[in-house]
């Protein structure tokens, strides 16, 4: 009597029920390629985002908070960006946050700040930037303000120091103060940055300009030039002025 036939032995490697089509593989690879590459902290760009938080800026403070978060969107594909918030207000108060690449945490920190009357302290912003880049490379400084109540020569000297260190200052001037405008333009020129004017009704313009600076800090001049060509609008103002 013949014995029972043996069942075929199973291979050690399972055979998938369905083989992905070439189109599915290509779609998957395209998706992977589109994901942002997050660089280690030591390689990410570093940007100081400084604001005048005196009483005159209160009407547009919330707008600045919101737009700051959008800077991260343009830098994700470049490997990300570390940002440090800095602000001054009241009687001699100046504060700076820890460095962070977490947009939500930074927005939460800014949301907790309320404007308080006082004189400008731009000198403290610039001195802080000099100290920070002495500890670790800072790629750019953003300053948003509407007036200047300090001696221009002291500010220009610090701006020149930042220029020597290779740290451009990008000044976004709110309002129509002509005296402040002249000082802000000199700070930008001496540091190798740019100065642009905006008003409370130009949220889109400020959004584009801030994104341009973030792109520069994360990817350098070449990334800024590419972003300028893609975005257009007010962005070429930044690209033309940067040394």
Quick one: what percent of the chain has pLDDT higher than 70? 72
CB count within 10 Å of CB 199 equals 14
The pLDDT of residue 18 is above 60: no
For position 132, what pLDDT does the model report? Answer: 97
**Please, are residues 75 and 81 in contact by the beta-carbon 8 Å criterion?**
yes
Instruction: pLDDT band for 14, please (50, 70, 90 cuts).
Output: very low
Task: With H, G, I as helix, E, B as strand and everything else as coil, classify residue 174.
Answer: strand
The pLDDT of residue 1 is above 60: no
Return the H-helix or E-strand segment holding 73. Answer: helix 58-75
CB count within 10 Å of CB 184 equals 27
The pLDDT of residue 216 is above 60: yes
Instruction: pLDDT band for 235, please (50, 70, 90 cuts).
Output: confident
Query: Domains in the chain and their CATH numbers?
Result: 41-241 (3.40.50.410)
- Whole-angstrom Cα distance, residue 232 to residue 87? 30
Q: How many residues does the chain have?
A: 243
Question: What would the mean pLDDT of 69-73 be, rounded to a whole number?
Answer: 60
Average pLDDT of the chain to the nearest whole number: 80
The pLDDT of residue 73 is above 50: yes
Q: Give whichever of 21-30, 48-57, 145-154, 222-231 has the largest mean pLDDT.
A: 145-154
């Amino acid at each position: 009597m013949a014995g029972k036939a043996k069942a075929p032995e199973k291979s050690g490697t399972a055979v998938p029920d369905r083989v992905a089509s070439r189109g599915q593989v290509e779609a998957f690879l395209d998706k992977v390629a589109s994901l942002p590459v997050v660089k280690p902290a030591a390689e990410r760009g570093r940007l100081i985002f400084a604001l005048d938080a005196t009483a005159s800026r209160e009407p547009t403070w919330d707008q600045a908070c919101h737009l700051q978060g959008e800077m991260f969107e343009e830098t994700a594909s470049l490997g990300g960006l570390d940002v440090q918030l800095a602000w001054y207000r009241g009687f001699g108060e100046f504060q700076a946050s820890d460095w962070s690449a977490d947009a939500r945490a930074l927005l939460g920190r800014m949301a907790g700040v309320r404007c308080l009357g006082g004189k400008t302290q731009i000198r403290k912003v610039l001195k802080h930037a000099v100290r920070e880049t002495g500890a670790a490379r800072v790629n750019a400084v953003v300053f948003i303000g509407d007036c200047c109540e300090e001696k221009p020569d002291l500010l220009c000297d610090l701006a020149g120091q930042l220029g020597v260190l290779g740290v451009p200052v990008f000044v976004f001037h709110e309002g129509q103060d002509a005296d402040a405008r002249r000082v802000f333009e000199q700070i930008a020129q001496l540091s190798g940055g740019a100065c642009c004017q905006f008003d409370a009704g130009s949220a889109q313009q400020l959004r584009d300009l801030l994104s341009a600076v973030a792109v520069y800090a994360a990817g350098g001049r070449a990334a800024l030039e590419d972003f300028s060509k893609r975005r257009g609008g007010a962005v070429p103002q930044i690209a033309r002025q940067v040394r």
